Chain A
Amino acid sequence: MEKATETQTTAMLPKQKRQVARKPVLTRIASGILYLALLILAVVQILPLIWLFLFSLKNNQEVFNLAPLSLPAEPKWENYVKVWTEGNISMYFFNSVWITAVSVILTVLIASFVTFAITRMKWKLSKLVLGLFMVAMMIPVHSTLIPLFSFFTSIHLMNHPLAIILTYTAFNLPITMMILLGFYYTLPREIEEAAIMDGCSIHRLFFRIILPITTPVLATTAIINMIYNWNEYVFVNTFISSDKYKTLTVGINNFIGQYSIDWGAIGATLMISILPILFAFFVLSNRIVEGITSGSVKG
């Protein structure tokens, strides 16, 4: 069957060559349809977020009575002021900021250390250690959750920010290393040869030469880590019980659960939680795109 269609298509080829003159019109129609499909997909991806932004500026009456995609008579910016000042949203926000920042720095630094040792230094177990990190990427978080809960309880880190910072670091090491690896492999050996010849120590080589050279890829890993940590939910939900350490994801989820009637407040809360990421995306979209592709394909 497959053979038959194959010979058929090859038999058709000369005929198509003769039709070359008619091709542009057909191609134009076809590509018009395809372009429309791409546009529709773009609208589908973005429309829910536009709707979210619009209802974050409305009061309940406007949400229920006006058309979903209409503008309110007067934008209710007070929704944002209200959730920022009345609830704990500002506290959750700053928790997210500092916990994300500390985890990102720790992850990128530790991952740089180990990637440097694996790619630049000579030791027998380097392949095995690298494999250990790469396999970790396939392990479901839920298969580690109960022992981690038990471990943090026993060392009195339960309900302590360090529990999530350490977990974020450990679980983001593999992806961070994967992005770093590609860059480290392309660094010419001559750099460290020259440095070592000049009597430079390894620490100096790492901190003064290698780390500065890898700045572009460090920025990529940092932004990817930032997105992952900012959005993380399960670990915070499991390890943190008191409000003063909760991050935005868990915080807004509880907040919305309690105030599920006020649509404007819910919209404003969600907008506040996604704005930093959207802002980062507008400024650094190329880095994000690069990080996501290099972190997933090169495996």
Chain B
Amino acid sequence: MDKVMSNKKIIALYVLPALLLIITLVYVPIVLTGYYGLTQWDGIGERTFIGLANYSKLITDSLFWQSAFHSFLLAIFSVISLVAYLAVSLVLSGKIKGANLFRKIYLVPMLLSSVAIAQLWIRIYHPTNGVMNRFLESIGISNPPLWLADTSIVLFAIFIPIIWQYAGFYILIYYAALKNIPESLVEAAKIDGATPLQIAYKIKVPLIASVIKVTIVLAVVGSLKYFDLIWVMTEGGPNGASEVMASYMYKNAFKMNDFGYGSAIGFFLLLIALGVTWIIRKLTATKEEIQY
């Protein structure tokens, strides 16, 4: 039995297709991105080695830091919205009629492509015909904002559909985790006279702490690399007001043909994503896992 199940040839045959794909298309590229960052390259011609020039340019590039700031702002927004999702899930996981239907309805936007969502929200924000300003005008606001054309609010106007898109995803995760808590624990607390709020904060939330940790990492890393919806809605504009790290990278490489600098940004993005993941895991590390 053991001999059959440790046949090297068969193991290699089963593992190699997946391993080759992930190494060639994920791991080799992230190393190459770091290397291409050391070169000057227009994407077609020869690569010229220029040392750390791109990276030192990146450190002093105020446009990049502005886009990094926007990415981190999105991360902070996403984490704050997690609190609201947790609250919704706590309500939903109590004995609510139709909870299953609710969580499915919440999930619908998450299933649609970012392109479709972006194109839809471009219409929603349309200054004259969009449903947003039609509504604002109907309640008597005569000068509604221009939304995507206004540099001071475009970033937040874009955050709303992103939050709208992912709400159902996080609610679903929290709901599943809360449903896993043994009924006996909640019953015991009720007998001891705990109020529903106390049960939520002192029993349910601590019990799903590990899941909350995972969602924080997902929300932060997802925000830092966010691209699709922003690219389709504004391409980072107007005037860089909604630029994020990924859109700045894409613009430099595939619009301005500066693939060396684009690679440097891509490598930086990787370091930031991995670094932030590590920091969050350190900060939220618990000394003992809760057993129940």
Question: CB within 8 Å of B: which residues of A?
Answer: 9, 13-14, 16-17, 31, 34-35, 37-38, 41-42, 44-46, 48-49, 51-52, 55, 63-64, 68, 110-111, 113-114, 116-118, 120-123, 129, 132-133, 136, 138-151, 166-167, 169-171, 173-174, 177, 192-193, 196-197, 202-203, 206, 227, 230-234, 238, 248-250, 252-253, 256, 263, 266, 270, 273-274, 277-278, 281, 285, 288-289, 292-293, 296-297, 299
Q: List 14 A-B contacts (CB under 8 A).
A: A13-B194, A17-B193, A111-B18, A113-B15, A140-B224, A143-B267, A146-B253, A151-B29, A169-B21, A171-B26, A249-B113, A252-B119, A273-B116, A288-B107
B26 touches A63 (CB 8 A): no
Known A-B contacts A64-B129, A274-B112; the reply to A202 vs B249 at CB < 8 A is: no
Contact with A along B178-200 (1 / 0, CB 8 A): 00000000000000111100100
Cβ of A227: which chain B residues have Cβ within 8 Å of it?
111
Q: Give the distance in Å from the alpha carbon of A20 to the alpha carbon of B74 in the complex.
A: 45
Known A-B contacts A13-B193, A48-B120, A52-B120; the reply to A143 vs B29 at CB < 8 A is: yes
| Residues 76-135 of B contacting A (Cβ, < 8 Å) | 88, 91-92, 94, 96, 102-116, 119-121, 123-124, 128-129, 131, 134-135
Contact with A along B263-280 (1 / 0, CB 8 A): 100110110011001000
- The answer, among B104, B168, B270, for a CB contact under 8 Å with A143, is B270
Q: Give the distance in Å from the alpha carbon of A177 to the alpha carbon of B263 in the complex.
A: 29
Q: Give the distance in Å from the alpha carbon of A101 to the alpha carbon of B30 in the complex.
A: 28
A142 touches B115 (CB 8 A): no
Known A-B contacts A143-B30, A234-B227; the reply to A122 vs B5 at CB < 8 A is: yes
Stretch at the interface among B59-67, B148-156, B169-177: B169-177
A-B complex: 5 closest residue pairs judged by Cβ atoms: A231-B113, A147-B29, A140-B225, A144-B29, A147-B32
Q: State whether the Cβ of B147 lies closer than 8 Å to any Cβ in chain A.
A: no
Closest to B273 in A: A140
Q: State whether the Cβ of B209 lies closer than 8 Å to any Cβ in chain A.
A: no
Cβ of B129: which chain A residues have Cβ within 8 Å of it?
63-64, 263
CB B278 to nearest CB in A, in angstroms, measures: 10
Known A-B contacts A13-B193, A16-B195; the reply to A273 vs B173 at CB < 8 A is: no
Stretch at the interface among B6-14, B48-56, B284-292: B6-14
A148 touches B29 (CB 8 A): yes
CB A102 to nearest CB in B, in angstroms, measures: 14
Q: Give the distance in Å from the alpha carbon of A202 to the alpha carbon of B172 in the complex.
A: 38
B123 touches A266 (CB 8 A): yes
Q: Give the distance in Å from the alpha carbon of A277 to the alpha carbon of B267 in the complex.
A: 34
Closest to A202 in B: B10
CB A39 to nearest CB in B, in angstroms, measures: 8
B1 touches A38 (CB 8 A): no
Q: Give the distance in Å from the alpha carbon of A38 to the alpha carbon of B106 in the complex.
A: 10
Q: Give the distance in Å from the alpha carbon of A174 to the alpha carbon of B19 in the complex.
A: 11
Best-buried of B25, B33, B96, B105 by chain A (most CB within 10 Å): B25
For chain B, give the interface size range: 35 or more
B22 touches A146 (CB 8 A): no
Q: Give the distance in Å from the alpha carbon of A217 to the alpha carbon of B92 in the complex.
A: 26
The prevalent SS among residues of B at the interface is: helix
Cβ of A288: which chain B residues have Cβ within 8 Å of it?
107, 111
The prevalent SS among residues of A at the interface is: helix
Best-buried of B1, B29, B254 by chain A (most CB within 10 Å): B29
Closest to A43 in B: B105
Cβ of A281: which chain B residues have Cβ within 8 Å of it?
104, 107-108, 111
Cβ of A230: which chain B residues have Cβ within 8 Å of it?
113
CB A121 to nearest CB in B, in angstroms, measures: 5
Q: Give the distance in Å from the alpha carbon of A117 to the alpha carbon of B14 in the complex.
A: 6
A166 touches B25 (CB 8 A): yes
Q: State whether the Cβ of B164 lies closer than 8 Å to any Cβ in chain A.
A: yes
Known A-B contacts A123-B6, A289-B103; the reply to A253 vs B115 at CB < 8 A is: yes
- The answer, among A41, A177, A203, A277, for a CB contact under 8 Å with B106, is A41
A145 touches B266 (CB 8 A): yes
Other 4 A-B pairs with CB < 8 A, given A68-B134, A117-B15, A293-B176? A55-B123, A64-B128, A141-B227, A147-B29
Closest to A252 in B: B115
B214 touches A147 (CB 8 A): no
Q: State whether the Cβ of B167 lies closer than 8 Å to any Cβ in chain A.
A: yes
